[in-house]
């Protein structure tokens, strides 16, 4: 049998050319894929975002935000200021803060930041348990008087002509009360009650007073005369938030007023 070598070589050449063409296409696809991958942006490594300093907050849904100022740490020790007065209590609210002081021989008075207390003493900061005063450029403290001492009866002169608007502050401060927000309404959280007060009323540390005899604490603070009218009640209904639940307790206001009103400069 005679084989045509020329024809066989032609077939082999064709097959080789076809294989080379396939390899060329395959290589082209690989190169194209590499170029596409290189052109795609690579994800940058994750960076930890540093938390910025909070410069304002909004308390209790108020319309205006208060700027954050540098505050001395609550535990920072300061020298006691020499002042002939007792710090009966403080009122910390969303808009401002105030402190109730009683100078010897005078009725208690409510002060705010920036007020002059006596001599060169200026009230510069109000905290939960003390006030900070500035005396000749030096920061000093006046600590709050203990509640069990505040509750002691004392003899005072007749003060029927005094401004009753300040009495609401002092009355709340007798219980170490601080305003809090409960479901959009204002209440007073009771703190640091004396043993004597706990015995006279079913009030506990941590209770938030919401209403007295059906009136909100806001109404009572705006009308201290109404608050004092309860002084003869033997079973005064008081609505409190206790452990997350509303409860109505009944307070012997007559016993409480016998202790509190003389301290306020009033006759029970």
Instruction: Give every CB contact of residue 83 below 8 A, 6+ residues apart in sequence.
Output: 117, 118, 121, 133, 142
- Band (pLDDT 50/70/90 cuts) for residue 133 is very high
Distances 138 to 68, 76, 133, 141, 189 between C-alpha atoms, Å: 22, 14, 8, 10, 33
Q: Highest mean pLDDT range out of 62-71, 169-178, 219-228?
A: 219-228
CA 199 to chain centre: 30
**What is the total residue count of the chain?**
268
- 71 vs 171, residue with greater confidence: 171
- Structure tokens belonging to residue 223: 């009308």
Q: How far is CA 124 from CA 9, 94, 121, 130, in A?
A: 106, 17, 9, 11
CA 31 – CA 22 distance, rounded (Å): 14
Strands 130-135 and 56-57: unpaired
Q: Enumerate residues 6+ apart whose C-beta is below 8 A from 107.
A: 156, 159, 162, 265
- How many Å from the N-terminal Cα to the C-terminal Cα in the chain? 141
As a whole number of angstroms, the distance between CA 171 and CA 13 comes to 111
Structural domains of the chain sorted by starting position, each given as residue range(s) with its CATH number in brackets: 77-145 (2.30.30.830), 156-268 (2.30.42.10)
Paired with 262 in beta bridges are none
SS3 of 92, please?
A: strand
Is residue 36 over pLDDT 60?
no
In this prediction, residue 158 carries a pLDDT of 41
Mean pLDDT of all residues belonging to the chain: 64
Write down the pLDDT at residue 86. 86
pLDDT for 7: 61
β-bridge pairing 122-126 and 130-135: antiparallel
Structure letter (DSSP) for residue 119: T
- pLDDT 10s digits, 218-268: 777 666 677 667 777 777 788 887 777 888 888 777 766 665 555 444 454
- Entry pTM: 0.36
Residue owning tokens 């939960």: 128
For every residue of 184-244, DSSP letters joined together read TEEEEE--S--HHHHHHSS--TT-EEEEETTEEHHHHHH-HHHHHGGGG-SSEEEEEEETT
% of the chain exceeding 90 in pLDDT: 5
- Of residues 111 and 168, more confidence is placed in 111
From the CB of residue 179, how many other CB atoms can be counted at a distance below 10 Å?
20
For residue 101, pLDDT over 70 is answered with yes
* pLDDT at position 168 over 60: no
For residue 58, pLDDT over 80 is answered with: no
Q: Provide the pLDDT for residue 194.
A: 63
């Amino acid at each position: 049998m005679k084989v045509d070598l020329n024809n066989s070589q032609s077939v082999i050449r064709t097959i080789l050319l076809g294989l080379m063409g396939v390899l060329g296409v395959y290589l082209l696809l690989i190169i194209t894929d590499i170029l596409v991958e290189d052109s795609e942006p690579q994800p940058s490594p994750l960076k930890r975002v540093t938390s910025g300093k909070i410069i304002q907050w909004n308390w209790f849904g108020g319309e205006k935000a208060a700027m954050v100022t540098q505050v001395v740490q609550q535990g920072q020790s300061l020298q006691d200021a020499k002042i002939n007065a007792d710090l009966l209590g403080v009122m910390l609210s969303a808009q401002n803060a105030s402190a109730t002081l009683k100078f010897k021989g005078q009725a208690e008075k409510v002060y705010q930041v920036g007020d002059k207390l006596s001599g060169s003493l200026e009230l510069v900061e109000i905290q939960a348990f003390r006030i900070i005063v500035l005396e000749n450029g030096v920061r000093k403290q006046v600590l709050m008087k203990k509640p069990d001492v505040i509750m002691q009866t004392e003899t005072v002169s007749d003060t029927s002509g005094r401004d009753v608007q300040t009495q609401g502050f002092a009355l709340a401060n007798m219980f170490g009360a601080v305003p809090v927000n409960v479901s959009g309404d204002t209440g007073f959280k009771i703190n640091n009650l004396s043993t004597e007060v706990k015995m006279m009323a079913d009030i506990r540390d941590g209770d938030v007073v919401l209403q007295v005899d059906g009136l909100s604490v806001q109404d009572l603070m705006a009308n201290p005369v109404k608050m004092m009218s309860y002084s003869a009640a033997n079973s005064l209904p008081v609505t409190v938030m206790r452990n997350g639940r509303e409860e109505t307790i009944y307070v012997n206001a007559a016993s409480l007023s016998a202790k509190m009103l003389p301290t306020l400069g009033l006759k029970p």
